[in-house]
Amino acid sequence: MTLTNMTVEMGAKTGLIEPDEVTYKHFQSLNEPIEVLTSDRDAAYERTLRLDSSEVAPKIATPFAVDKVSNVEDVEGERIDQAFLGSCTNGRIEDLRLATRILEGRRIHSRVRLLVNPASMRVYEQAVKEGLIEKLVESGAAVCCPTCGPCLGMSQGVLAADEVCVSTSNRNFVGRMGDRSSKVYLASPATVAASALAGEITDPRRLWN
């Protein structure tokens, strides 16, 4: 979802990812039919890239553009006021599991607000069943409704003047989450969780357990 959502920011009209076995199994578990679209087996591509994601260091998009990307370790120490875990692009059950893995047994920084928005009611229900919601609340997080809100400054966690937020959402333009003087950094669920604990942007590899 994240890749297809963000292709427009790279100049594409649309972005498609062919379903794999994980996708098939997911929809089978939901007992929902899907219409499968695939590329022609003899399709010609302008360019094919193969990347080993295990070799990619944690990344972060700095204000005020989604493609203004740095390694997290290069911007560590930036003080934050808010951390946002969720949205349509990074509020899946896997994202909540990952963040909980880092937050469990720890408390967020006393100065930081940590907001959690599951991507859907189904994700919310699953997180409750797995005990993730309880653990997130114990860490100091505020769990919000599974809907749009903080990502576009519509409700919950609207940023005040000069506040800084590290977010798993998908846009960080001027005024995106509130006051025009506020700043939004876009990062992974792991980076957001680690930063909420430290009170500043933090490479999650420092807290991995």
Domains of the chain: 57-206 (3.30.499.10)
Helices 121-129 and 93-103 pack at an angle, to 10 degrees, of 40
SS3 assignment, position 152: helix
Share of the chain above pLDDT 70, in %: 100
25-29, 90-94, 116-120, 166-170, range with the lowest pLDDT: 25-29
| Strands, sheet with 69-71, edge to edge from the N-terminal-most edge strand | 69-71, 59-61, 183-187, 164-167, 82-86, 113-117, 142-143
Q: Is the pLDDT of residue 151 over 90?
A: no
Dump pLDDT digits (tens) for 39-66: 898 999 999 889 898 889 999 999 999 9
pLDDT for position 11: 86
Instruction: Give this prediction's pTM.
Output: 0.89
Query: pLDDT tier at 182 (50, 70, 90 boundaries)?
Result: very high
Could you write out the DSSP letters of every residue in 31-70? Answer: T---------TT---S------GGGPPPEEEPTT-TT-EE
Q: Which residue has the higher pLDDT, 12 or 187?
A: 187
| Burial (0-12, 13-18, 19+ Cβ within 10 Å), 175 | middle
Q: Which of 10, 183, 152, 170 is nearest to 82 (CA)?
A: 183
SS3 assignment, position 83: strand
pLDDT for position 54: 86
pLDDT for position 193: 98
- DSSP designation for 208: -
3-12, 58-67, 87-96, 186-195, range with the lowest pLDDT: 3-12
Tell me the pLDDT of the chain averaged across its residues: 92
pLDDT for position 135: 98
